[in-house]
Copies of this chain bind each other. A is one copy, B any other.
Amino acid sequence: MSAFPTNIPEKTIERLSEYRRTLLSCHRQGITHVFSHVLAGIHGITAVQVRRDLMLIGFSSDTKKGYDVGVLIDFINNILYSENSMNIAVIGMGNLGRAITKYFNSKQLKLRITVAFDIDPAKVGSVIDDIPCYDMSDFEDVVSNNDISIVVVSLPTKAASQLVVPIVNAGIKGVLNFTSAPLNFPQGIVVENYDITTSLEKVAYFVKANEENNNQ
């Protein structure tokens, strides 16, 4: 196996994921080659940024036709995915947990949401959107038996802080947290906090800033 680059910046990883989606869309439309400035235009960045990102993962293209779409998809897949698939659990199967599960598992990725957890007796023991839903009290056993390495936290915010200890004890390696409470974990556990409120407040601020600038 060739050396896996472990030092790629977070923002580059985000963009690689985004390029990959656009490339897959090109591929489905039968487009075989794409120029850096076309990718850049779609994603609202500069062509220099695109080329820099791809250079970081060791990809370059000297063809006059632009990047080979199929080859570049494979290249990005090798960065984003393990050779082995990674299993994901969702904690909290309310509207958000179900939306994430359906959305994510509808894509053909090596990452799969394979189990869910909830505390609602109406959900525990049933199969929701094709995945089994377990009681939180069985968390450690289920994680171990299903080789889960990542959890998605989509519970009400006030319940989220109680999850830190079980997540650490179960040996989870990565957490995507959708509650509005930032969760702090020991070093070695990857955490991504995302709060919808922040995104909406950001849009609202820049709408207001645009209005103020137009009024000046």
Contact yes or no, A107 B197, CB < 8 A: yes
For the complex, is A59 an interface residue (Cβ under 8 Å from B)? no
Chain A interface size, as a band, is 35 or more
Which residues on the B side are within 8 Å of A149 (C-beta)?
A: 207
Main secondary structure of the interface of A (DSSP, over half): helix
Q: Is the CB of B203 within 8 A of A175?
A: yes
Given contacts A96-B95, A99-B99, whether A150 and B180 have CB atoms under 8 Å apart is: no
Enumerate chain B residues within 8 angstroms of A209, measured Cβ to Cβ: 4, 6-8
Closest-by-CB residue of B relative to A100 is B196
Alpha-carbon gap, A128 to B153, bound state (A): 25
A128 to chain B, nearest CB (A): 11
Task: Identify A18's interface contact among B4, B100, B175, B198, CB under 8 A.
Answer: B198
Looking at the complex, which one of B6, B25, B195 makes contact with A21 (CB distance below 8 Å)?
Answer: B195
Chain B residues with Cβ below 8 Å from A210 are 6, 173, 188, 190
Q: Select A205's contact among B79, B184, B211, beta carbons within 8 Å.
A: B79
**B182 A18 Cβ-Cβ under 8 A:** yes
Shortest CB distance A23–B (Å) = 13
Q: How far is the CB of A152 from chain B (nearest CB, A)?
A: 7
Known: A96-B103, A111-B204, A202-B10. A43 touches B182 (CB 8 A): yes
